Amino acid sequence: MNRRMRLCLVALGGAGLAALFTAAFLRLPAFGGDRHPYGDRAVRAALHRHTANTIASVNFDLRAFDTLGETSILFASVLGCVVLLRQARDEHRARPEPADVAPPVRRYALLVLPVAVLTGLYVVAHGQLSPGGGFQGGVVTATALHLLYLGADYHALERVRPLGAYEAGDALAVSAYVVTGLAAVLAGTAFLANTLLPYGTFNTLSSGGTVPLLNAAVGMEVACAVVVLLARFLDQAVEIEEDSGK
Amino acid sequence: MNGWLLAAAVVLTGGLGAALWGVATGPLRRRAVAQNLATVLAGSGLLLLAQGYDRPSYLDLALVLALLGPVGTLVFARLLADDLAADPPRARAATWATVGVAAATVAAVCAATGPGRAMGKLLVTGALLIGGNLIASRALSGGFGGVRGG
Amino acid sequence: MNRRTNSAALPAAAELALWWTTLAGLWLVFISTVDPLELAVGAGAAAVGALAARAARRAVTDR
Amino acid sequence: MIAVALLLVAASATAAVATRDPARQALVLSVLGVVLAVLFTTLQAPDVGLSQLAVGAALTPLLLLLTVRKVRRRPRREEDPR
């Protein structure tokens, strides 16, 4: 296949894509309007199930199966990173030297770490009420732990981070999501159908049926996955060195 | 468009625009300082937007930014310590001006909210935003001495 | 032996209690409506935060 | 308001593409993340904005800079006449 042929092929595909996009674009609802066919239906469903945050209702109730897929993608990609970034045979671990951090920075890290952990948990717990949810809160919690690396050194972080526990937590959280879905099947409805729990009072922590449970599972999964992922990156950047003279 | 949104537009265009110029051009020290200041300005902008749209739950965004923004700057201060130590940033005037903007924003939004738990949340967010920024600028100008491999 | 563990346990408990009170207060500031479940979840989250705070402090100072 | 945020996003994204050095690019990228969060807020999508903040403010720069450090450490070692 020569250069000219390839160019023609790209142009053909691009033109087809452009035509499809244009056709789809012409039928879209106008930007910024107050009516939207999907939006109206989603809000109605969310209100019916007493979920104040419509986004959480869409993610963890109407399209909970999609979210299961996304969760598994994150799980699989972290697994891939763990396999790729493992310590190879021609590498060895060098102990990092302790870092010399200015006292105000160290105090700030120690002070903000628990506050950030609390905020992450707050965001996870209020996913069905206010903006946020499992993903956002999980990332905040996991980032908070790494303040220990920034405010002290890698050795300090390793002391509060039993990596095996986080790997197990990651797997456990994904299974918890699936188990919640299977519970609905056992109760006689569809997989992940939100009919198991009472919907509760609108705009309180116990509203939304299974939405808070799925949120908590995703929060734990994301937090553990980010910790494991960052651990592999930190290992590579800080500890693992290639053997010289091979 | 009410006064709060207008104020947010001014803060975002003027402040964040200037920070963007600072982060896109110039030596590394100026870029790092501009990144730090962009966090504070965006945090003030988010506070003003939450007030302007009259959505108290939007405050969570400002809270998360106030927590994680300085952490991001600490990441740069830590991992670029060698480059920054050779040419330490000096931007006291710009830092204090930005902190002034943030403090004025928090004070104004607090005054509009009135006393109560919502005001407490605002004050916590403001304290984290300003305190974090000052610590992060301290870290940029030599907070990590002699980090080698650590 | 018993006296020594006591004298070590007291500051630890005090540190945890101080952090727990601070974080539970922060949780009260964050939430919009107060109800019993909210308080229970907040107490749990504050406990996690307090444990994290103590673990972090020990990892940095005791070496 | 939306126009202001859109302009800022366009400007910072262009700056991120135009920057060559990866470390400086990470700095521009973290500002781009924050500006994107502001854009999502003005479009009344705070959930997306919160995700963007959580990932873009600290996590992406940390991953990028750790990678830069690892890649930079390697050539120096090979030049060492040992």
| Residue D82 confidence class, pLDDT cut points 50, 70, 90 | very low
CB of A115 closer than 8 Å to CB of B44: no
What are C's interface residues with A at a Cβ cutoff of 8 A?
19, 23, 26-27, 30-33, 35, 37-38, 41, 45-46, 48-50, 52-53, 55-60, 63
What's the pLDDT tens digit per position in B103-128? 999 999 898 888 888 888 999 999 99
Q: Exposure of A62 by Cβ count < 10 A (0-12 exposed, 13-18 middle, 19+ buried)?
A: middle
Residue B146 domain-assigned (yes or no): no
Range D8-29 average pLDDT: 90
Total structural domains within chain B = 1
* pLDDT given for residue C4 in this prediction: 53
* pLDDT given for residue A22 in this prediction: 94
What are A's interface residues with B at a Cβ cutoff of 8 A?
94, 96-102, 104-105, 108-109, 112, 115-116, 119, 123, 129-132, 136, 140, 143-144, 146-147, 149-151, 153-154, 238
| Residue D60 confidence class, pLDDT cut points 50, 70, 90 | very high
Asked if residue B149 has pLDDT above 50, the reply is no
What's the pLDDT tens digit per position in C4-59? 556 678 888 999 999 999 999 999 988 888 888 889 999 999 999 999 999 988 88
- Residue A26 CA, chain-centre distance (Å), reads 34
The conformation of residue A30, written as its DSSP 8-state character, comes to P
- All chains having 3 or more CB pairs closer than 8 angstroms to chain B: A, C, D
Scanning chain C, the segments in alpha helix (DSSP H) are 2-30, 36-61
Range D20-43 average pLDDT: 91
Q: What backbone torsions phi and psi does residue C16 show, to the nearest 5 degrees?
A: -65, -45
- Residue B57 and residue A129: Cβ atoms within 8 Å? yes
ipTM score assigned to the predicted complex: 0.89
The residue among C29, B137, C19, C47 whose CA lies nearest residue A110 is C19
CA-to-CA dists, residue C48 to A82, A127, C39, D50, angstroms: 27, 19, 14, 23
Interface of B with D in 63-82 (CB under 8 A): 64-65, 68-69, 71-72, 75-76, 79-80
Q: What backbone torsions phi and psi does residue B144 show, to the nearest 5 degrees?
A: -115, 95
Q: What whole-number distance in Å separates Cα of residue A46 and Cα of residue A60?
A: 11
Asked if residue D80 has pLDDT above 50, the reply is no
Residue of C nearest to B63 (CA): C30
Scanning chain A, the segments in alpha helix (DSSP H) are 3-26, 37-48, 54-57, 64-84, 103-125, 134-145, 147-151, 154-159, 163-186, 211-234
Asked if residue B27 has pLDDT above 80, the reply is yes
Q: What whole-number distance in Å separates Cα of residue C10 and Cα of residue C44?
A: 22
* pLDDT given for residue A61 in this prediction: 85
Beta strands in B1-150 (DSSP E): 144-145
* pLDDT given for residue C1 in this prediction: 45
What's the pLDDT tens digit per position in B45-96? 999 999 999 888 899 999 999 999 999 999 998 888 888 887 777 778 888 8
Q: Which residues of B touch D8 (CB under 8 A)?
A: 12-13, 16-17, 20
Rounded to whole angstroms, the maximal C-alpha distance in chain C is: 48
Residue B102 domain-assigned (yes or no): yes
Tokens standing for residue A139: 């990332």
Range D48-72 average pLDDT: 90
Q: Which residue range is the domain that position C19 belongs to?
A: 2-61
Q: Which residue range is the domain that position B87 belongs to?
A: 3-140
What's the pLDDT tens digit per position in A125-166? 988 888 888 899 999 999 999 998 888 888 888 888 888 899
Q: What whole-number distance in Å separates Cα of residue D19 and Cα of residue D22?
A: 8
Compute the radius of gyration of chain D from its Cα atoms. Answer: 16
pLDDT by residue for chain A (246 residues), tens digit each?
788 999 999 999 999 999 999 999 888 887 777 788 888 888 888 888 888 888 888 888 888 899 999 999 999 999 999 999 888 777 778 777 777 788 888 889 999 999 999 999 999 998 888 888 889 999 999 999 999 888 888 888 888 888 889 999 999 999 999 998 898 888 888 888 877 788 888 878 888 888 888 999 999 999 999 999 999 998 888 887 776 543
Looking at the partner chain, which of A117, A125, A129 has a beta carbon nearest the beta carbon of C49?
Answer: A117
- Are D and A touching by the rule of 3+ CB pairs within 8 Å? yes
Total structural domains within chain C = 1
Residue B145 domain-assigned (yes or no): no
Q: Which residues of C touch B117 (CB under 8 A)?
A: 28-29, 31
